[in-house]
Amino acid sequence: MAGEKGGKEAAAGSRFLALLKRNRALLIFFLFILVMPLWAENVYKTISLDFVFIMRLVGVYTIAAVGLNLLMGYAGQVSLGQGAFFGIGAYTSALLTLKAGFPVWVGIALAIAVSALFGILVAPVLRLKGHYLAMATLGLAIIVFVFLREMTWLTEGNFGLSGIPSLNLPFTSITGFDLPFIKDKAQRPELYLQFYLIWIIVFAALILCSNLVRSRVGRSMRALHQSEVAAEAMGVNVSAQKIKVFVLSAALGGLAGGIYANLQGYIDPNMFTITLSISVLTMVVIGGMESIWGAVAGAAVITFLPKMVEAIPKWVGDAPKWLERYSNYEGIVFGLILVLTMIFMPSGITKGLSDLVRLRRSPFVNPFRRKAVE
Amino acid sequence: MSRESRPDGGANVALLEAMSLTKTFGGLAAVKDVSFKVESGSIKAIIGPNGAGKTTLYDLLTGIYLPDEGSVVFQGRDIVGLATHEITALGIARTFQTIRLFPEMTVIENVMVGLHHHTRAGFVKSAFRAPSAMREEAWMREESLRILDIAGLEMQADNLAGSLPFGQQRLLEVARALATKPRILLLDEPASGLNAYETSELGEIIYRLRDMGVTVILVEHDMGLVMRISHEVLVLDYGEIIAEGTPDEIKGDPRVIEAYLGSELD
């Protein structure tokens, strides 16, 4: 009896070890996130880059990007509509918490549900393929934006919604969240709490999605991406599978939006224009299609970029004037990044960089090593 | 030699029956009033010049196209109107004339997709790695290796399907179709592009399938292979059946010779 129990425990232990081994990259990143507040405050003081603050947003965008990556990277259905689901999630949670007085976490849960429901409603667009699907989802993003702006009786239109209850521990309103290892108690406890809450959700989403893509379901998604006819002939219900991925992607978009609203405390329709869809798409592409990790990298690059440009004038006294007007031409920069990524790292930065490392170690082709005889 | 050794002992059970199938594309009849029966455990070849409607016939049998007229009865059930994946689940699998593997997936993953409808784990169970999903996953891997072994591809299991040499890609298509555990397997020119050695290997595999109880329909241009392995041959020309019989009967049929070589002294 005891031996059996011991065996069971050992099995559970080795399963846990296997889990850690399988997700070791995730584990390293988890530790990185865990200790971030230890050094972030000092970094903020020196280079005016508020890591904890920005990383909350990175987390939010990661969720939206990982959702889009399932749909676009794995299942091959290009969507320019992720911003729409993000917006619907944001408004659902904002309205429910602000006007109906729901707890924040209920608001966010319902944001997921409403976005998913909307995804089911518009799922027939998946009958379209390739560019046509991209166009249709683009239209979707624009329609949702117009609705958010014009339904003033509900959304207050361009005035936006302000005073949205902020993200907190479930069903409580703890604001005095002290981290034992932060000596300077003067800074923003709520920020750290939100940072950890968001990243717990992000890690959960990343782990679940990476499990999913390595399963039967993930294989069927990749199969229908590569040949719909063959996938169907192998017994995969292609149209049903597409709809399921689309709805999951919408739900993740809604989750991201819901968190976003409760994080910012203020939303207006102009946050959820087609630009948002395009930046989420940029995150997926530069992070890497068919890469769960790419979503984090892509979201980090796209979110940090404007903040860094913003911080440059604080580093150097006489920063050129055009840097201050960065937000005016941010779209051009994104476009440029997108084009350069497609040319030089078509599989995204995560795969692109790991390939570079492999290439550098390779004894064969090695552009990095100088030729012995010039 | 094997033509006499049918496992069903010639019980003449029609596993699949096509009844006056017709399909026209813009006035052109690709398949016209085609009826035939396939007996359980047999190997039936469908031959005919290019454009005779062989692939269209396959597309009708597997639900990719709806026939304009006629019906397909499989194991006593009319399958016209069912979706392709439903037909696959009933037990009709196919390969493609132009190779349609999943090139960016590994060889074993390709076969595992073929096992899709034999497994149940959905989004939630897969995402949470539920024990039942994990058991299925282990079973799929084991089963796929077994199937790859039949096709002689087990050494290639972890290579990308797109990186295989052409002949092995053809074999992988067969292996992947086999993974759906079909009662009847439709092979669409499996020997095209194969060299003599690979073709004879393919013939061996088809025999082995027959011994496993899989009925085979074979569309093929390699007459050597067709005449060697099939029990019955059906000849199509311009979408119509012009002859049906044993390989020996077909070889001497003047209509067949005419279809292939043109009529004498026209």
pLDDT tens by residue, B167-207: 999 999 999 999 999 999 999 999 988 899 989 989 999 98
User: Could you count the other beta carbons within 10 Å of the beta carbon of residue B66?
Assistant: 10
The three-state (H, E, C) secondary structure of chain B, written as one string = CCCCCCCCCCCCCEEEEEEEEEEEECCEEEEEEEEEEEECCCEEEEECCCCCCHHHHHHHHCCCCCCCEEEEEECCEECCCCCHHHHHHHCEEECCCCCCCCCCCEHHHHHHHHCHHHCCCCHHHHHCCCHHHHHHHHHHHHHHHHHHHHHCCHHHCCCEHHHCCHHHHHHHHHHHHHHCCCCEEEEECCCCCCCHHHHHHHHHHHHHHHHCCCEEEEECCCHHHHHHHCCEEEEEECCEEEEEECHHHHHCCHHHHHHHHCCCCC
CATH (one of 1.10.3470, 1.20.1300, 1.10.10, 2.60.120) for A23-361: 1.10.3470
| Chain B residue set in contact with A, beta carbons under 8 Å | 62, 64, 83-85, 88-89, 93-94, 96, 100-105, 109, 112-114, 116-117, 119, 121-123, 126-129, 133, 136-137, 140, 176-177, 179-180
For helices B166-179 and B131-151, give the axis angle rounded to 10 degrees.
Answer: 130
Q: Do A234 and B113 touch (CB under 8 A)?
A: yes
The rounded mean pLDDT for chain B is 89
Place of tokens 């989750």: A255
C-alpha distances out from residue B196 to A19, A254, B163, B199, B219, Å: 48, 58, 22, 5, 18
- B100, B109, B136 ranked by CB distance to A227: nearest: B100
**Helix H or strand E segment including A11:** helix A2-22
Q: Is-contact B109 B157, C-beta < 8 A?
A: no
Burial label, A9 (beta-carbon count in 10 A; 0-12, 13-18, 19+) = exposed
Q: Which residue on chain A is closest to B85 by alpha carbon?
A: A235
Q: Enumerate the β-bridge partners of residue B69.
A: B22
Separation in Å, CA of A173 to nearest CA in chain B: 31
Phi, psi at B199, each rounded to 5°: -65, -40
Separation in Å, CA of A76 to nearest CA in chain B: 13
Candidates B112, B113, B135, B180: best to mutate against A (most CBs of A within 10 A) is: B113
Taking contacts as CB-CB distances below 8 angstroms, the residues of chain B near A216 are: 112, 116, 119, 121, 126, 133, 136-137, 140
**Helix H or strand E segment including A266:** strand A266-267
Separation in Å, CA of A210 to nearest CA in chain B: 8
Separation in Å, CA of B164 to nearest CA in chain A: 16
Q: Which residue on chain A is closest to B178 by alpha carbon?
A: A234
Q: Do B121 and A217 touch (CB under 8 A)?
A: yes
**pLDDT value of residue B13:** 64
Taking contacts as CB-CB distances below 8 angstroms, the residues of chain B near A231 are: 102, 113
Structural domains present in chain B: 1-91+182-266 (3.40.50.300), 105-172 (no CATH)
Q: Is-contact B29 B50, C-beta < 8 A?
A: no
Taking contacts as CB-CB distances below 8 angstroms, the residues of chain A near B114 are: 234-235
**pLDDT value of residue A290:** 86
Q: Is-contact A234 A223, C-beta < 8 A?
A: yes
- B62, B83, B137 ranked by CB distance to A216: nearest: B137
Separation in Å, CA of B144 to nearest CA in chain A: 13
Q: Which residue on chain A is closest to B130 by alpha carbon?
A: A211
Cα–Cα distance between B45 and B203 in angstroms, integer?
13
Smallest CA-to-CA distance from B38 within B217, B235, B226, B236 is with: B217
Cβ of residue A232 closer than 8 Å to a chain B Cβ: yes
Taking contacts as CB-CB distances below 8 angstroms, the residues of chain B near A232 are: 83-85, 88
pLDDT bucket at B10, cuts 50 / 70 / 90: very low
Taking contacts as CB-CB distances below 8 angstroms, the residues of chain A near B130 are: none
Cβ of residue A206 closer than 8 Å to a chain B Cβ: no
Cα–Cα distance between B218 and B189 in angstroms, integer?
7
Cα–Cα distance between B67 and A249 in angstroms, integer?
37
Q: B5 CB contacts (<8 Å, ≥6 apart)? A: none
- A211, A215, A230 ranked by CB distance to B100: nearest: A230
Q: Where are the domains of chain A?
A: 23-361
Taking contacts as CB-CB distances below 8 angstroms, the residues of chain A near B129 are: 211, 215
**pLDDT value of residue B7:** 47
Q: Is-contact B247 B233, C-beta < 8 A?
A: yes
Place of tokens 């904890």: A52
Separation in Å, CA of A58 to nearest CA in chain B: 23
Degrees to nearest 5, angle at CA A35 with A32 and A38: 135
Three-state secondary-structure class, residue A147: helix
Q: Do A234 and B140 touch (CB under 8 A)?
A: no
Q: Do A226 and B103 touch (CB under 8 A)?
A: yes
- A223, A233, A244 ranked by CB distance to B123: nearest: A244
Residues B130-137: contacts with CB within 8 Å, 24+ apart?
A: B133/A215, B133/A216, B136/A216, B137/A215, B137/A216
> Residue B222 has which token pair?
């390699």
pLDDT bucket at B241, cuts 50 / 70 / 90: very high
Smallest CA-to-CA distance from B93 within B3, B195, B209, B178 is with: B178
**pLDDT value of residue A180:** 54
Cα–Cα distance between B53 and B23 in angstroms, integer?
9
User: Could you count the other beta carbons within 10 Å of the beta carbon of residue A279?
Assistant: 23
Q: Which residue on chain A is closest to B103 by alpha carbon?
A: A226
Half-sphere exposure at residue A186, Cβ-oriented, CA atoms within 13 angstroms: 2
pLDDT bucket at B104, cuts 50 / 70 / 90: very high
Q: How remote is the C-alpha of B18 from its chain's centroid?
A: 15
pLDDT at B4 over 70: no
User: Could you count the other beta carbons within 10 Å of the beta carbon of residue A45?
Assistant: 9
| pLDDT tens-digit profile, chain A (374 residues) | 444 455 566 677 777 787 777 777 778 888 888 888 778 777 777 777 888 889 999 999 999 999 999 999 999 999 999 999 999 999 999 999 999 988 889 999 999 999 999 999 999 999 999 889 999 999 999 999 999 999 988 888 888 998 888 887 764 555 545 555 555 544 567 788 888 899 999 999 999 999 999 999 999 999 999 999 999 999 999 999 999 999 999 999 999 999 999 999 999 999 999 989 999 999 999 888 888 888 999 999 999 988 888 888 777 777 777 777 777 888 888 888 888 888 888 788 877 777 777 766 665 555 555 444 44
Q: Which residue on chain B is closest to A214 by alpha carbon?
A: B126
Q: Do B104 and A234 touch (CB under 8 A)?
A: no
**pLDDT value of residue A8:** 62
**pLDDT value of residue B214:** 93
For helices A82-98 and A130-150, give the axis angle rounded to 10 degrees.
Answer: 30
**pLDDT value of residue A28:** 85
Taking contacts as CB-CB distances below 8 angstroms, the residues of chain B near A238 are: 85
